[in-house]
Amino acid sequence: MPIYIGFDASTQSLSAMALRVEGATREVVCAHALSYDEALPHHGTRHGVLPSDDPRVAASSPLMWAEALDLMLGRLSADPRLDRDQVRAISGSGQQHGSVYLAAGALDTLGTLDPARPIAAQLGGCFARPVAPIWMDASTGPQCAELAAALGGADAVARRTGSRPTARFTGPQIRRFATADPAGYARTAHIHLVSSYHAALLAGRQAPVDPGDGAGTNLMDLATTDWWPAAVQATAPGLEARLPPVAPSWTTVGPLSGYWQARHGFPPARVVTWSGDNPCSLVGTGLVREGRVAVSLGTSDTIFGAMDAPRVDPIGTGHVFGAPMGGFMGLTCFANGSLARDRVRQVHGLDWEGFAEALRHAPAGSGGGILLPWFVPEITPVVPEPGARAYGVDLDDAAQHVRAVVEGQFLAMARHSAWMGIHVGAIHATGGAAANRALLQVLADVFDARVRRFEVGNSACLGAALRAVHADARASGRDIPWDEVIDGFVAPLAEPPIVPVPEHVRRYAALRAVHAACEAHALGQGPDPAAAQERWRRAVPIEN
Ligand code: XUL
């Protein structure tokens, strides 16, 4: 029975998941994960990132990633649950935005590796730059400003590429390297994303970038899903010749290279173009068409969903990427997620059960009080100077404080994701904090949408494996519907959904304007919001 493998090359670890799919049989055969720090300590990473004196700089090691792939294929090959001969197609997901700089001849090397030796021992001459800047890098502010100026302003770049010039995005990163190390840039023949680099390693040849990850570069035109010539030229000289082509997410790169076949005993399985972790998560959380969003409640909180058209965020903190099904996806990320909830919990000495209890006891709407929980610098909206701001919230009252932090987060999420233009009928909640149903009740009430919980598991890895299923069927002449691809793998937990409470929905609908007024005031862009709060209190009689 055919087996499909998905990888997830994330910041801290490499994971793999194998699925068995045929007719009604749809099961996870096995899943593996290795942490870079623990499995490959000789590269000296911490949480997958190389040490740096400059806190704005974050890079990892592309050699380590290749070594991890070798290790992981070895583990998969040794797993008795996995019938290697049945592996039909392989795809993957990579942390977005990171870039790998390959020297001339590197692709030839990948195609002619000696299976008797580890890959890492054979890539010596392959890298024009030994490190790969990753998405946590924030060192390219000047390059972002230069690119905005060269391309008609930040908003013009957002309209074309889906995002304003953004520090962690690949284009500004390439520009910084080309300027800071012209000799290194001159040695560079190919610039890959984390996703396309891994696909090239597996296929032993050039691999394309898909529109999901291509949109995370500030270099791709959403309208054509191809590189935007003006941005490519403005970014660095001769960049066009260094970028891989952009191709649909279901494109076959080639068969698994002879190296992996001989070294770990796999067949010449189809290697399918890799994508970014967020586009893969879209598939892994079942959001294969517009109308639903996923809310991931983790260290940071993220909301994302499929979009039929590439609508762009007017305030510039949201991002539009290509979707692996075709079409687009919108994503907005908030830095103050669990971190902010945890701060408030600790102030009142509560455990998480106590936090949930406090949430249940305070009235919805916090009496018109608003808390803007910017405990660390916020990215949506951009708040470089951290510090929570409270408007009419009694911070000594544990229940009110807890309620206000959660409401402040979800009101911000609703307001700052409205640009996606998605009518949110249902929310798929994932991430650690999704365990808390009281929290999800507030989410349901603020969005006026049913909330269902999904397995916290690795949705990017699952999404990658499901993309392999889809691409293999398509290449075999069957245009398989996405609902069929995800069927049986992506399902909510077996429990009743969290349903909005009409009275709370009414309060929050009115509270959005108050939140907007408080936020504008806190950002120095609006008057004292007391009048807006008073209007809300008059309109919404408070009962406890
Ligand atoms: C998205 C982003 C992160 C990385 C993490 O824009 O920077 O989600 O993709 O892996």
DSSP-assigned states of every residue in 223-290: TTTEE-HHHHHHHSTT-GGGSPPB--TT-EEEEPPHHHHHHH----PEEE--EEHHHHHHHHTT--ST
Residue 96 Cα: closest atom of ligand 1: 9
Is any ligand 1 atom within 6 A of the Cβ of residue 419?
no
**pLDDT at 335 (0 to 100):** 86
Q: In this structure, which residue's CA is closest to atom 1 in ligand 1?
A: 96
Q: In this structure, which residue's CA is closest to atom 10 in ligand 1?
A: 95
The count of other CB atoms within 10 Å of the CB of residue 121 is 11
Mean pLDDT score of the chain, rounded to an integer?
95
Q: In this structure, which residue's CA is closest to atom 3 in ligand 1?
A: 96
Is any ligand 1 atom within 6 A of the Cβ of residue 166?
no
CA 249 – ligand 1 centroid, Å: 18
Whether residue 543 is predicted with pLDDT greater than 70 in this model: the reply is no
Residue 135 Cα: closest atom of ligand 1: 7
Is any ligand 1 atom within 6 A of the Cβ of residue 10?
yes
The count of other CB atoms within 10 Å of the CB of residue 471 is 26
pLDDT bucket at 544, cuts 50 / 70 / 90: very low
CA 97 – ligand 1 centroid, Å: 7
The predicted-structure confidence for 496-515, as pLDDT tens digits, reads as follows 999 999 999 999 999 999 99
Residue 277 Cα: closest atom of ligand 1: 9
pLDDT bucket at 377, cuts 50 / 70 / 90: confident
Whether residue 121 is predicted with pLDDT greater than 60 in this model: the reply is yes
Is any ligand 1 atom within 6 A of the Cβ of residue 275?
no
Is any ligand 1 atom within 6 A of the Cβ of residue 278?
yes
Residue 11 Cα: closest atom of ligand 1: 10
**pLDDT at 308 (0 to 100):** 92
Residue 319 Cα: closest atom of ligand 1: 6
Mutate to test the pocket of ligand 1, among 15, 95, 379 (most ligand atoms within 8 A of CB): 95
The count of other CB atoms within 10 Å of the CB of residue 421 is 12
pTM above 0.85, yes or no: yes
**pLDDT at 314 (0 to 100):** 81
Is any ligand 1 atom within 6 A of the Cβ of residue 277?
yes
**pLDDT at 157 (0 to 100):** 97
CA 147 – ligand 1 centroid, Å: 21
CA terminus-to-terminus distance, the chain: 59
Q: What mean pLDDT is predicted for residues 219-231?
A: 98
CA 382 – ligand 1 centroid, Å: 17
The predicted-structure confidence for 324-354, as pLDDT tens digits, reads as follows 999 999 999 998 998 899 999 999 999 999 9
CA 41 to each of CA 11, 37, 47, 52, 72: distance values in angstroms, whole numbers, following the listed order: 15, 5, 11, 16, 15
CB 231 within 8 A of CB 172: no
Is any ligand 1 atom within 6 A of the Cβ of residue 96?
yes
3-state percent helix, strand, coil for the chain, nearest multiple of 5: 40, 20, 35
> What is the greatest pairwise CA distance in the chain?
77
Is any ligand 1 atom within 6 A of the Cβ of residue 217?
no
CA distance 299 to 182: 37
